[in-house]
Amino acid sequence: GLLFGFEFCFRLVIFCCLGWQEEVSRYQEKQSCRERRTQAKNLKKLVYVYLVRYAEEQQDLALLSISTFQRALKDPNQLIRASALRVLSSIRVPIIVPIMMLAIKEAATDLSPYVRKTAAHAIQKLYSLDPDQKEHLIEVIEKLLKDKSTLVAGSVVMAFEEVCPDRIDLIHKNYRKLCNLLVDVEEWGQVVIIHMLTRYARTQFVSPWREDAVFDENSEKAFYDSEEERRVDQSKPYIMDPDHRLLLRNTKPLLQSRNTAVVMAVSQLYWHLAPKHELSIITKSLVRLLRSHREVQYIVLQNIATMSIQRKGMFEPFMKSFYVRSTDATHIKTLKLEILTNLANEASISTILREFQTYVKSQDKAFAAATIQAIGCCATNISEVTDTCLNGLVLLLSNRDETVVAESVVVIKKLLQTQPSQHSDIIKHMAKLFDNITVPMARASILWLMGEYCEHVPKIAPDVLRKMAKTFTDEEDIVKLQIVNLAAKLYLTNSKQTKLLTQYILNLGKYDQNYDIRDRTRFIRQLIVPNEKSGALSKYARRILMAPKPAPVLQSAFKDRDRFQLGTLSHTLNSQASGYLELSDWPAVAPDQSVRNVEVVEPVRLPCICLFFKDNVKNAGAPALSKSKPAKSNEKIRSTCLRIMQHNYSLNYYLPPQIIQKTLNIMTKYILIHIVLSISTPFFVNCMCSLLHLCVFLACQFDAVSWPVHVSLQASSPVFVPETSHELLHRMTGKGLSAQYRFTRQPCIYGNSMVSLQLTLSNSTDQALENIHISEKSSTGQNIHRFNAIERLEPQASVTVSMGVDFNDSTQAANFQLCTKEDEFSVSIQPAVGELLLPITMSEADFTKEQGKLVGMNESSATITMMPENVSSQSVNRKVVSVANLGVIPSGQENIYRFAGKTVSSGSLVLVSVALKDPDAVITINTEKTVMGSMLLRQVKTALTNSGP
C-alpha cells in the first residue's frame, strides 16, 4: 500500500509537471503570436507613415503599394476599408488621382457610415492635390449631403466649406435635415455645420432687426400657406421665417455643450442671426466659459469685448465676472479691462473707477498703463466724471513708477484737448513736475501741451523753453522735435522773451545728428523768420502752427471688429485671414422658401400589390389551372381576389417590386388557387388579410439575399412594463395640481415615431381645477401630441390621460407647459434610453446576420463580473428587459442571451447579447446609434452587476 501510494504521488507529480510545461508552452506560443501581431501592426503603421511622408520623393515605391490599398478597400471590415482610403488619399502623387477619385466615389456609397465619413475627409485631400477635380467632387458632396447619418454630417459639411462654399443651392434640400441632426452630431462637426448655416441664413432670410418685427416660435403656417397667402404686402410687419426659427431653436440646446467651440459657435450664430431681444440667452453660456483655460478665456473675452460695444445690457448683470484676478495673465487682464470700460455708464462708473484705482497699483507695468488709458476712455465717454478722472490722473503724476507717470501724462494731454481753457492749473502743475519726469513720451507730451496752450500759461512756457535749451543735446529725438515746436510757437506769440532762445535752439537743431530734426529745424526757420527767400509763406506761419486741432477720440480697439464674423481667426487677428468667408448682408426680399421643401417619396403600399395582382392574375394564375380547371374556375379566382383587394386597402407595406412579384407568384401558384377553388365564403374572404401577410413574409424569406430590408423588424408586445411612475409636477409647485407620468412601452397610437406616455393628473385642493391642458409652446421643439383638454377636475379626484412625444432618438428632456385656467407650470419629461425602443421579434439566424453587419464603430462591449444570484436565465432576461424595452430572442446556445429592439423614432436596429463565462459576462450592443448604444451599455452593466430584483 505504501509503494502504491508513493507510485501514485510520483505519477501525479510527473503529470502536473507535464501539464505545467504544456501550459507554459501554450502561453509562450500565445505571447509570441501577440508579439508578432503587434510587430506587424507597428510595421504597417510605419509603412503608412513613410508612404504619406515620402511618397512625393519616391513615387515608384508609392505606386507599388496602390494595389494593396485597392484590395483593402474591398475588405469586409469597415475599419480596414476606412484606413486604406485614409492612407490612399494622403499619398501626394498626382498620377494616382483617378484611382483616388474612384475610391472616394465607391466609399461614398459604402454601407458603413464610418467609411462614408472617411470619404468626406478624403475629398478635401484630393481637392488640394488636384483642384481640377472640383466638379466631380461636388457630385460626391451632393450625394453625401443627403446622408442621414450623424457620423457623416460634420465631415461632409467641412468638405463642402473647403471645395465649394459658394454652392448654396446644395444646402437647400438638406437645410432642415442638418438643423434636426445638429444635436446628435459629434462636437467638431457641430462647429462646422453651425458656421456654414450662419452664412446660409444670411443669404436666405430677411433681417430680424426691425422695430415692427413679430416673433411667433410655433408658427408653422408658412410651411403650408398657399401662394396667394404668401404674397404679403410690404406695409405688414416682419414675421420670422419658420426655417429661420428652426435654426435658432435647434441650436439653442447646444449652449449647454461641454465643448467651448460649440458654445462659441452658437453664440456667434445668435449674434449674427437672432432678434436683438433674444441675445441675452447666450450671455450666461459665454460667462461660463471664463472658467476654462486662459487660451479659451482669451478668445471668449475678445468676442465679448466686441459684443459689449453694441449691446452693453447683455453683460451688465455679470460685471463682477470681468473683475481682474491676481492670477490672470496680462493679456487676460487687458481684455477684462476693455470690457469693463465698454460696460461703464453713469450708474456703474463709480464702482468701476474704484476697481481701476486698485489696478493702477498693480506690479504689472503694462496692465497699470492700460488701466490709465481705460480711465481716460471713461472720462471721454461719460462727461459727468471727466473732472474726477482728470484729478485722479494728476495725482498719479506724483507716482514713483515712471511708467504710470508717463501714461498719465499722455492721457491727460488727450483729455485737456477737450477743454484746455478750464484746466490751466493742471498744465501748470505738470510743468512743475517736468524735471522729475524722465520718460521721453511723457516729456514730449508736456512740451506739446505747453506749446499748444502757451497763451494760457504765458509766464511758465518761456521758462520751460529756457530749461530745454540747456538740455537740448541730451534729449531723445521725440523730445527734441517738441522743443523745436515749442520754440516756434512761443516765437509767434511772445517773441520779445523768446526770440534769442528760439534762434539758439534752431541753431542747435541745424547740426543735430538726426536728419528729421535737421529738416524740421530748417522748415521752422524759413516759416517763422521772415526774409527774402521765405516769400509769402511766412505770412501764414501763425495760422499753420497755431491752428485749432480736433480733440482725439479715445475709443475701444474692438470698435470695428464686428466687420468680421465672431469666433473666426480673422476676428481674433483683426485682419482678414486666408480662407475667410465674409457674411453677406441681409437680403431686402427673402428668396423663395420652397427651395427647401423636400419631396416625400410615398412608400409602396399593399394596395399596389393587389393592383399588381389584379393586372397579372390572368398571366400568373390562369396558366397554372389551364390544364386542370375550366375557364369558370379562373373567373372565380379573379373575382375572389378582387374581393380580397377591397379588404386590404388599409394595410401599409414598404415593398420593392421584386417582392411584389414573388408575393404574386406564391399567392397565385401555390396557395390561393387551391384554396379559393374549394372555399369561397365571406368569412374566408375576410380572413385573407392574414394569408396575404404570410405570402409577403414567405416572399421576403425567399429573397433575403437580394433584398436588404430588415424583414423581421416587426414590433412585438413588451416583455416587461414597469409600473413605476415619475413625478412631473409636485402638488406644492402646481398649486394643488400634481402629475405623474410613466412609459407604457406600447406603440404610440398618435404616431409611429412617438413614445407612448401615460399621465395621471390629481387635484389635491378643495376647489375644482378647470381647463387642464398642455400649452402649444414647446421650448425644446420636440413633436408632442397633447391630450385633450380636461374641462374640469373635481377636488381630490384623479384622471389618467395618454400623450405621445417624439424624442428623435435622444435622451434630451421634452420641456413644455402644463396649464390650468389660471396658471402655467413648466415641466419636463426625461426619458431613459431604454424607453426609446420598441421590442421586435426575429430568429436567431437573423439576429446573428444583422449583428455581423453592425460591427466596428457600431459595436460597444464590456466585461463584467456577475453576482451569483444573477447567473440564471430568468434573472438575466428580467434585468435586461427591465432596463430597456427589448424583445427576447430564442437562443439555441447555453449561457448566451439575445435581445432585439428598434428605436421608436428612426427604426434603427438595436441588438443586445449577454454571454456568460463564469464568473464573468460579456455584454455586447450593436446599433448604428452609437451614442444610444454606449448609454444603454452602461445601464445594462449596472443592472447585471447589482444584486436584488
Do 797 and 902 belong together in one domain? no
Give the residue, 393 or 909, on which the prediction is more confident.
909
User: How far is 349 from 933, CA to CA, in rounded Å?
Assistant: 54
Helix ranges (H only) for 515-592 are 515-528, 541-545, 569-573
Residues 885-934: tens digit of each pLDDT: 999 998 888 889 999 999 998 889 999 999 988 778 899 999 988 888 88
Do 412 and 282 belong together in one domain? yes
Tally of CB atoms within 10 A around 84:
23
Asked if pLDDT for residue 617 goes beyond 70, the answer is no
**Residue 771: phi, psi to the nearest 5?**
50, 60
Asked if pLDDT for residue 845 goes beyond 70, the answer is yes
Do 822 and 913 belong together in one domain? no
Domain boundary, last residue among 571, 594, 628: 571
Q: Quick one: pLDDT at residue 609?
A: 41
Q: Using a pLDDT cut of 90, give the percent of the chain over it.
A: 28
Of the pLDDT bands very low, low, confident and very high (cuts 50, 70, 90), residue 389 is: confident
Asked if pLDDT for residue 627 goes beyond 50, the answer is no
First to last CA, the chain: 55
Asked if pLDDT for residue 233 goes beyond 50, the answer is no
Most confident of 207-216, 398-407, 738-747, 769-778: 738-747
Q: Quick one: pLDDT at residue 665?
A: 55
Asked if pLDDT for residue 156 goes beyond 60, the answer is yes
Give a yes or no: residue 112 inside a domain. no
Alpha-carbon separation of residue 271 from 235, 248, 392, 562 (angstroms): 27, 11, 37, 10
Instruction: Identify the residue whose cell numbers are 399621465.
Output: 759
User: How far is 440 from 432, CA to CA, in rounded Å?
Assistant: 16
Alpha-carbon separation of residue 86 from 82, 124, 133, 165 (angstroms): 6, 11, 18, 23
Tally of CB atoms within 10 A around 706:
9
Burial environment of residue 863 by CB neighbours within 10 A (0 to 12, 13 to 18, 19 or more): exposed
Q: Quick one: pLDDT at residue 43?
A: 65
Alpha-carbon dihedral angle through residues 474, 479, 485, 486, given to the nearest 10 degrees: -80
Give a yes or no: residue 130 inside a domain. no
DSSP 592: P
Q: Quick one: pLDDT at residue 44?
A: 61
User: How far is 449 from 452, CA to CA, in rounded Å?
Assistant: 5
Asked if pLDDT for residue 938 goes beyond 50, the answer is yes
Do 288 and 382 belong together in one domain? yes
CATH number assigned to the domain comprising residue 287: 1.25.10.10
Q: Quick one: pLDDT at residue 930?
A: 82
Give a yes or no: residue 342 inside a domain. yes
Q: Quick one: pLDDT at residue 836?
A: 92
Q: Quick one: pLDDT at residue 672?
A: 46
Residue 617 C-beta-side C-alpha neighbours within 13 Å: 21
User: Residue 768 has which C-alpha cell?
Assistant: 375644482
Residues 258-311: tens digit of each pLDDT: 999 999 999 999 999 999 888 889 999 999 999 889 899 999 999 999 999 888
Asked if pLDDT for residue 479 goes beyond 80, the answer is yes
Q: Quick one: pLDDT at residue 590?
A: 85
Do 321 and 407 belong together in one domain? yes
User: How far is 240 from 205, CA to CA, in rounded Å?
Assistant: 8
3-state secondary structure of 26: helix
Give a yes or no: residue 795 inside a domain. yes
Of the pLDDT bands very low, low, confident and very high (cuts 50, 70, 90), residue 616 is: very low
DSSP codes, 866-925: PPGGG-SHHHHHHHHHHHS--EEEP-SSTTEEEEEEEETTT--EEEEEEEEETTEEEEEE
CB contact set of 762 (below 8 Å; sequence gap of 6+): 731, 737, 738, 739, 740, 797, 798
Tally of CB atoms within 10 A around 181:
22
CB contact set of 883 (below 8 Å; sequence gap of 6+): 832, 834, 936, 939, 940, 943
Give a yes or no: residue 31 inside a domain. no
User: How far is 551 from 554, CA to CA, in rounded Å?
Assistant: 9
Q: Quick one: pLDDT at residue 619?
A: 42
Q: Quick one: pLDDT at residue 559?
A: 80
Domain boundary, last residue among 506, 529, 552: 529
Give a yes or no: residue 553 inside a domain. no
CATH number assigned to the domain comprising residue 765: 2.60.40.1150
Tally of CB atoms within 10 A around 323:
14
Of the pLDDT bands very low, low, confident and very high (cuts 50, 70, 90), residue 623 is: very low
> Bridge partners of 734?
none
User: How far is 77 from 90, CA to CA, in rounded Å?
Assistant: 20
Residues 397-424: tens digit of each pLDDT: 777 777 788 888 888 877 777 766 666 7
Do 335 and 413 belong together in one domain? yes
3-state secondary structure of 47: helix
User: Residue 54 has which C-alpha cell?
Assistant: 515620402
Most confident of 42-56, 152-166, 690-704: 152-166
User: Residue 486 has which C-alpha cell?
Assistant: 515749442
Closest to 95 measured CA to CA, from 132, 143, 130: 130
Asked if pLDDT for residue 232 goes beyond 60, the answer is no
Asked if pLDDT for residue 832 goes beyond 70, the answer is yes
DSSP codes, 320-371: GGGS--TTS-HHHHHHHHHHHHHH--TTTHHHHHHHHHHHHT-S-HHHHHHH
User: How far is 338 from 343, CA to CA, in rounded Å?
Assistant: 9
Do 847 and 784 belong together in one domain? no
Q: Taking the alpha carbons of 724, 728, 731, 736 in that order, is the dihedral positive or negative?
A: negative
3-state secondary structure of 223: helix
Give the residue, 421 or 192, on which the prediction is more confident.
192
Do 384 and 502 belong together in one domain? no
Instruction: Identify the residue whose cell numbers are 411667433.
Output: 216
Ranges 81-95, 103-117, 360-374, 858-872: which has the least confidence? 858-872
Asked if pLDDT for residue 314 goes beyond 80, the answer is yes
Tell me the average pLDDT across 68-97. 86
Alpha-carbon separation of residue 130 from 115, 133, 198, 627 (angstroms): 22, 6, 29, 68
User: How far is 46 from 637, CA to CA, in rounded Å?
Assistant: 71
User: How far is 90 from 641, CA to CA, in rounded Å?
Assistant: 61
Tally of CB atoms within 10 A around 265:
24
Tell me the average pLDDT across 60-88. 84
Do 761 and 888 belong together in one domain? no
Work out how many domains the chain is built from and give that number.
4
Cβ 308 vs Cβ 322: under 8 Å = no
Do 842 and 795 belong together in one domain? no
DSSP 670: I
> Bridge partners of 903?
837
Q: Quick one: pLDDT at residue 659?
A: 52
Tally of CB atoms within 10 A around 399:
16
Of the pLDDT bands very low, low, confident and very high (cuts 50, 70, 90), residue 17 is: very low
- The rounded Cα 426 to chain-centroid distance in angstroms is 55
Cβ 88 vs Cβ 107: under 8 Å = no
CATH number assigned to the domain comprising residue 878: 3.30.310.10
Do 336 and 294 belong together in one domain? yes
Closest to 270 measured CA to CA, from 284, 246, 256, 252: 252
Q: Quick one: pLDDT at residue 369?
A: 87
Of the pLDDT bands very low, low, confident and very high (cuts 50, 70, 90), residue 612 is: very low
Give the residue, 930 or 737, on which the prediction is more confident.
737
* Upstream peptide bond of 919 is cis (omega within 30 degrees of 0): yes
CB contact set of 105 (below 8 Å; sequence gap of 6+): 140
Give a yes or no: residue 70 inside a domain. no
Residues 663-720: tens digit of each pLDDT: 555 555 444 444 444 444 444 444 454 455 445 444 444 443 333 444 446 778 888 8
Cβ 129 vs Cβ 94: under 8 Å = yes
3-state secondary structure of 35: helix
User: How far is 527 from 742, CA to CA, in rounded Å?
Assistant: 94
Sheet hosting strand 824-829, strand order edge to edge: 790-793, 769-778, 814-819, 824-829
Asked if pLDDT for residue 20 goes beyond 50, the answer is no
Q: Give the pairing of strands 909-917 and 896-903.
A: antiparallel
Domain boundary, last residue among 571, 591, 624: 571
Residues 750-806: tens digit of each pLDDT: 888 899 999 999 999 888 999 999 887 655 567 888 888 899 999 989 999 999 999
Asked if pLDDT for residue 155 goes beyond 90, the answer is yes
Give the residue, 281 or 548, on which the prediction is more confident.
281
Give a yes or no: residue 332 inside a domain. yes
User: How far is 269 from 303, CA to CA, in rounded Å?
Assistant: 12
**Structural domain boundaries enclosing 370:** 275-419+560-571
Asked if pLDDT for residue 624 goes beyond 80, the answer is no
Q: What share of the chain is helix, strand, coil (3-state, %, to 5)?
A: 60, 10, 30
Closest to 380 measured CA to CA, from 551, 266, 210: 551
Give the residue, 31 or 592, on which the prediction is more confident.
592
Closest to 646 measured CA to CA, from 607, 684, 592, 593: 607
Tell me the average pLDDT across 584-608. 71
Give the residue, 445 or 884, on which the prediction is more confident.
884
User: Residue 759 has which C-alpha cell?
Assistant: 399621465
Do 916 and 822 belong together in one domain? no
416-449 residues labelled b (16+ CB within 10 A) or e (exposed): bbeebeebeebbeebbeebeebebbebbbbbbbb
Residues 422-450: tens digit of each pLDDT: 667 777 777 887 887 888 888 888 888 88
Instruction: Provide the mean pLDDT of the chain.
Output: 79
Sheet hosting strand 726-729, strand order edge to edge: 726-729, 737-747, 755-763, 798-806, 783-785
Q: Quick one: pLDDT at residue 691?
A: 53
Closest to 637 measured CA to CA, from 593, 668, 598, 661: 668
